[in-house]
Amino acid sequence: MDIIETTEKAIEETERIHKKLNCFITICVKEAKARAKELKMSKKKGRLFGKFISVKDAICTRGIRTTAGSAILANYVPPFNATVIDKIEAEGGIVIGKTTMDDFGFGTFCTNVGKGLPVPKNPHDIGRATGGSSGGAGAATFEFSKDHLALAESTGGSITAPAAFCGVVGVTPTYGKVSRYGLIDYANSLDKIGTMGKNVSEAEMLSRVIFGKDKQDETSWTQEEKPAKKIKKIGVIKEMLNGVDEKIKKAFWNAINKLGAEYEEISFPLIDYSVASYYIIATAEASSNLARYYGMRYGAQEDISGSFSEHFASIRSKYFSDEEKRRIILGTFVRTAGYKDKYYLKALRIREKIKQEFALLFKRFDSLVTPAMPIIAPKFDEITKLKPIEVYALDSCTIPPNLAGLPHLSIPMSKVNNMPVGLQIICNSWEENMLFEFGRQVESVLK
C-alpha cells in the first residue's frame, strides 16, 4: 500500500475515532491528501515517513484552522507553521488533524472546551474525561491502531494528565528543549511542547524530531545531553503522595517494588506550596497573553458598536468561557499594584527555591518517581460537583516538575477500577536520554 492509500485509510480512521470520542476540532482531509501526493513524488523519506501526526490545536498550522480550543479564535487560520510543524514535515510526517483541548489550556479534564465544541470522551469509558488540557491527543493516541503520534503541550501537567487517564505514554521535555515559536501561549515561562505515543519508543521518535534550538524562539536552547546511564537510585517524595487515592498508591508501590532499583522516601516540604505558586504565576501570564483578544486585531470579529470599552467588554464576555474569565480576573488581581509583592513576586521566589531543591535532589538520585495523577479519570457528572479550587489541587503531582522546567514522562503502570493509572518519571534538566532509557526499562518491567 503506497502513501496515498495509507493516508486515505488514516483519514477514515481519524473520522471514525472522532465520531466515537470527539477528540478532533479539525480533521485535515484535503491537506493530508495533498501532503501525501507531495511525499509520493519526493525521493526523501525521513524519520516520520508513513506516520500521521495529530496536533494539539494550540500549535499553529499554515492554512489549517487553529483555535486554541477557544470560541474567540474559532475562525483563525494561521498563515505560518509553528517550528515543530516544519520539523515534522521535513521528516515526512503528515498532519492528520487538530486535537480537542481545554480553551487556551485552562483545565485538568478537557471539559473546558470552547463554546460549541464537543467534550472529548475517554476511550476506556466514554462516560469519563480524557484529562486536560491535551485531552484530545491522549484519546486519539490510544485509539489509533498504528502509525500515529501526537504533538501535545504542557503548562502544569497537560501532557501527563491525559496520558495517565487514557493509558498512553506522554513526554514533557525540559523547558527550552523545544521551540515554542507558533504556539498560542497559556503561560510563556511554563509552556512546553511535547509528545504522546503508545509506548516510550514512539513518543521518543517524535520528540527527537522536534528537539533543538530555534532562532525564532529565544527561550529555546541546545545543550549537550548526558549519555544515558543505568538508574541506580530513585527518590519518592512523600508530599507528592498526599491526597493520592489509596488504590493508586497501592499500584504505585507495587510498581516501585517491581523496578528492583534502590529507592528512598524523602521529604520536600516546599512541594506543598507548588500548586498555589503555579496558579499565581500561570494566571498572571495568561491574563497578560489574553489581553490581545478583544475583537479588533485578534479574536472574533464583529461590527463595532458603542465605545471601545463597550465593544471590548462585549466581545470578551460573549466568547470567553467561565474558566477563561476566572483566570483573567485572578491573574490581573495578582499583578495589580499592592498585591504584586504579596502574591506574584513571592510565588516567583518559591519557584526558584523549588528549582534549587530539585537540583540538590538530583545530586543524590538518578530519578524521582511519583503517581502521575492522584485519581483515575473522573466521570463527567463527578466533575460538575467539584469546586475550581478542588480541581486545581488535583495537579499536585504534575505541577512541581513543570514549575521547575524538568523533563518527565507518564507511563501506564496498572489499572484501577478498569481505568489506567500512570507512573510519572522525573529527571534532571537536559537529561532526556536518561528519561527515555529509564522509561523503556520501566515499560519492560510493568508490561
Angle between helix 3-21 and 135-143 (nearest 10): 120
Cα–Cα dist 151/103, whole Å? 17
Residues 56, 98, 121, 198: which is the catalytic one?
56
What does the DSSP 8-state code read for residue 114? P
In which residue are the cell numbers 474569565 written? 325
Length of the chain equals 447
Nearest by Cα to 208 from 347, 342, 51, 103: 51
Active site (annotated) includes residue 133 = yes
SS3 408: strand
Nearest by Cα to 291 from 440, 104, 416: 104
> Computed from CA positions of residues 350, 356, 360, 362, in that sequence, does the dihedral angle turn out positive or negative?
positive
If one counts every other C-beta atom within 10 angstroms of the C-beta of residue 389, the result is 9
Cα–Cα dist 249/240, whole Å? 11
Residues 51, 54, 121, 133: which is the catalytic one?
133
Active site (annotated) includes residue 444 = no
Residues 134, 158, 277, 396: which is the catalytic one?
158
Cα–Cα dist 340/139, whole Å? 39
> Computed from CA positions of residues 431, 437, 441, 443, in that sequence, does the dihedral angle turn out positive or negative?
positive
Nearest by Cα to 21 from 109, 102, 131, 140: 140
Residues annotated as catalytic are: 56, 133, 158
